């Protein structure tokens, strides 16, 4: 979208520039020269000039159309070669891990060879275009000068008339040398403009209902009512999910990776809308989230996502992003709750430390704690934690969990874990353990892994 908008705005500028400063002046000049030839000399000069111009234009348009795909292929191969080079440089550690420097070099060379072949074909076609244009111009000029020379020899014209006619023709044909470039650029500009206007005409995938009211949060009770959902019709994700999260409670839906946990959060945020006819509905304090504005809905929900993403800015900026109007003391307080304040203070630049692109200068656990602080700073009535402590060590995880438990007493906290898009078990922790089902198996496996990790740590 960004690329289409950029090309579209540049296309409008090129269209106006070429139309006003290249095409229009050339057409005016052609008309004046031909009118001068007819009135001051004879129609022969205007006829030959007109035939040459029409031939020149038709030839240029046809050949430019024919050679466009050569130019497009060359540009695509150039972009592909650059993309592969950038990709290998960005992932240089992976390249070195597997010793694939020669492999990456060979892949880049192969792309450059294809680019060179396409560039040669494009240059040959351009040479053919230029040769044909010069041939047409030269032929027309020869016919006109031959006629003018005859007029001088017959005494009908003076030597000055010959020089004048020659000067007019040269002045007329010089702008035509750029016609091929102008035509190609205009055609590309129109294509780019069409893409941009198509974007402007596109509707929102998830629009608000007309005159939709703001969400009125009275407690924060969440209700998933017979919810089914699929990103693609052939691969359903959720199957008739039905549960309620009362105000001030913590609900965990347990399951394996890829079972639809994150999808519940996306649906609650209305990144996708459910089909009213068959996919059920999601309610917050009795209000269907499809009937309220998305801004008010998202203002009432905070999330710590499974995949942590940070902006290429300072740590302070990334925490304050949860509530840009927050004071510095509030930002620091949120960092303390997320157990990252001491780490930040130990850095040379403190809260002004840049995190790098997507937070690459921070470890996984540090990024996750920044995200937790950002969400806590937002202070919404509903909190979603999608495996929010998966990248933390055991000590930090337990400390943050205690903080979250205290916070959860006053708001609805949803920690999502599902299995195959369905809720197969319900109950408290002790009830599920006594049932000996899927939850008990997963709990036993987790405890075993924790014991093995603790044993390994002690041995080291």
As to burial, measured by CB atoms within 10 angstroms (0-12 exposed, 13-18 middle, 19+ buried), residue 400 is buried
Quick one: three-class SS letters along 38-106? HHHCCHHHHHHHHHHHHHHHHHHHHHHHHHHHHHHHHHHHHHHHHHHHHHHHHCHHHHHHCCCHHHHHH
Q: Quick one: CATH architecture of 222-459?
A: 3-Layer(aba) Sandwich (3.40)
Check: pTM over 0.75? Answer yes or no.
no
Q: Where are the alpha helices (DSSP H) in 253-327?
A: 261-268, 294-299, 315-320
Residue 374: CB partners within 8 Å, gap ≥ 6?
318, 319, 320, 321, 322, 334
- Distance, in Å, from the CA atom of 338 to the CA atom of 233, rounded to the nearest integer, reads 40
Residue 210: CB partners within 8 Å, gap ≥ 6?
none
- Judging by DSSP bridges, how do beta strands 250-253 and 412-416 pair with one another? parallel
Residue 249: CB partners within 8 Å, gap ≥ 6?
408, 412, 413
- Taking CA atoms, 181 is separated from 14, 177, 185, 218, 426, in Å, by 12, 8, 6, 65, 70
Our CA dihedral for 328, 333, 337, 343, rounded to 10 degrees, sits at: 60
**Ordered DSSP codes for 389-425:** TTTS-HHHHHHHHHHHHHHHTTSEEEEE--BTTB---
- Distance, in Å, from the CA atom of 104 to the CA atom of 1, rounded to the nearest integer, reads 30
Structural domain spans, the chain: 2-201, 222-459
pLDDT for position 69? 79
For tokens 């592909």, the residue is 80
- Judging by DSSP bridges, how do beta strands 301-304 and 222-232 pair with one another? unpaired
Q: Quick one: CATH architecture of 2-201?
A: Up-down Bundle (1.20)
Tens place of pLDDT per residue across the chain (460 aa): 777 788 788 888 888 888 887 778 888 888 888 888 888 888 888 888 888 888 988 888 888 888 777 877 887 788 788 888 888 887 887 888 888 888 888 888 988 898 899 889 888 888 888 888 888 888 988 898 898 898 888 888 888 888 888 888 877 777 776 766 777 778 778 877 887 888 888 878 888 888 999 999 888 889 999 999 988 888 888 888 888 888 877 777 777 777 777 788 889 989 998 888 888 899 999 999 999 999 999 989 888 877 778 888 999 999 999 999 999 999 999 999 888 899 999 999 999 999 888 778 888 778 888 888 998 899 888 888 776 555 556 666 666 666 566 555 555 555 655 666 777 666 666 666 777 777 777 777 767 766 665 555 444 4
- Distance, in Å, from the CA atom of 284 to the CA atom of 245, rounded to the nearest integer, reads 10
- Distance, in Å, from the CA atom of 415 to the CA atom of 383, rounded to the nearest integer, reads 9
Question: What is the torsional sign of CA 192, 206, 367, 443?
Answer: negative
- Distance, in Å, from the CA atom of 49 to the CA atom of 33, rounded to the nearest integer, reads 9
3 state DSSP class of 226:
strand
Residue 297 near residue 269 (C-beta atoms within 8 A): yes
pLDDT for position 335? 92
Residue 114: CB partners within 8 Å, gap ≥ 6?
77
- Distance, in Å, from the CA atom of 164 to the CA atom of 167, rounded to the nearest integer, reads 5
Residue 290 near residue 243 (C-beta atoms within 8 A): no
Residue 334 near residue 375 (C-beta atoms within 8 A): no
pLDDT for position 89? 83
In sequence order, the β-bridge partners of residue 301 are: 382
């Amino acid at each position: 979208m960004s690329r289409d908008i950029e090309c579209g705005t540049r296309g409008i500028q090129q269209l106006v520039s070429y139309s006003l400063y290249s095409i229009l002046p050339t057409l005016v000049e052609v008309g004046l020269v031909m009118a001068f030839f007819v009135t001051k000399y004879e129609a022969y000069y205007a006829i030959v000039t007109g035939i040459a111009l029409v031939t020149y234009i038709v030839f240029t348009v046809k050949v430019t159309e024919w050679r466009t795909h050569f130019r497009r292929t060359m540009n695509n191969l150039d972009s592909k070669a650059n993309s592969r080079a950038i990709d290998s440089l960005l992932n240089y550690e992976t390249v070195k891990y597997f010793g694939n420097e020669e492999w990456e070099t060979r892949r880049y060379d192969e792309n450059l060879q294809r680019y060179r072949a396409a560039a040669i074909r494009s240059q040959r076609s351009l040479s053919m275009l230029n040769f044909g244009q010069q041939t047409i111009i030269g032929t027309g000029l020869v016919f006109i000068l031959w006629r003018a020379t005859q007029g001088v020899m017959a005494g009908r014209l003076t030597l000055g008339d010959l020089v004048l006619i020659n000067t007019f023709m040269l002045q007329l044909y010089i702008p035509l040398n750029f016609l091929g470039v102008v035509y190609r650029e205009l055609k590309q500009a129109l294509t780019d403009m069409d893409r941009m206007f198509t974007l402007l005409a596109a509707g929102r995938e998830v629009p608000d209902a007309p005159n939709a009211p703001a969400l009125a949060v009275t407690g924060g009770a969440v209700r998933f009512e017979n919810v089914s959902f699929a990103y693609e019709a052939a691969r359903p994700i959720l199957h008739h999910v039905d549960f309620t999260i009362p105000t001030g409670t913590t609900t965990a839906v347990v399951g394996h990776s890829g079972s639809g946990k994150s999808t519940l959060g996306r649906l609650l945020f209305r990144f996708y809308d459910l089909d009213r006819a068959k996919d059920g509905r999601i309610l917050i304090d009795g209000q269907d989230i499809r009937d309220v504005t998305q801004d008010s809905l998202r203002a009432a929900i905070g999330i710590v996502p499974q995949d942590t993403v940070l902006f290429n800015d300072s740590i302070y900026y990334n925490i304050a992003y949860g509530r840009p109007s927050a004071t510095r003391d509030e930002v620091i307080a949120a960092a303390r709750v997320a157990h990252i304040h001491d780490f930040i203070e130990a850095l040379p630049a403190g809260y002004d430390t840049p995190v790098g692109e997507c937070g690459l200068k921070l470890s996984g656990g540090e990024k996750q704690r920044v995200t937790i602080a950002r969400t806590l700073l937002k202070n919404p009535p509903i909190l979603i934690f999608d495996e929010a402590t998966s990248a933390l060590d055991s000590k930090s995880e337990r400390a943050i969990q205690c903080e979250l438990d205290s916070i959860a007493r006053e708001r609805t906290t949803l920690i999502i874990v599902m299995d195959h898009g369905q809720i197969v078990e319900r109950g408290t922790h002790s009830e599920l353990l006594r049932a000996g089902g899927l939850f008990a198996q997963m709990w036993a496996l987790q405890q075993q892994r924790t014991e093995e990790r603790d044993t390994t740590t002690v041995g080291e």
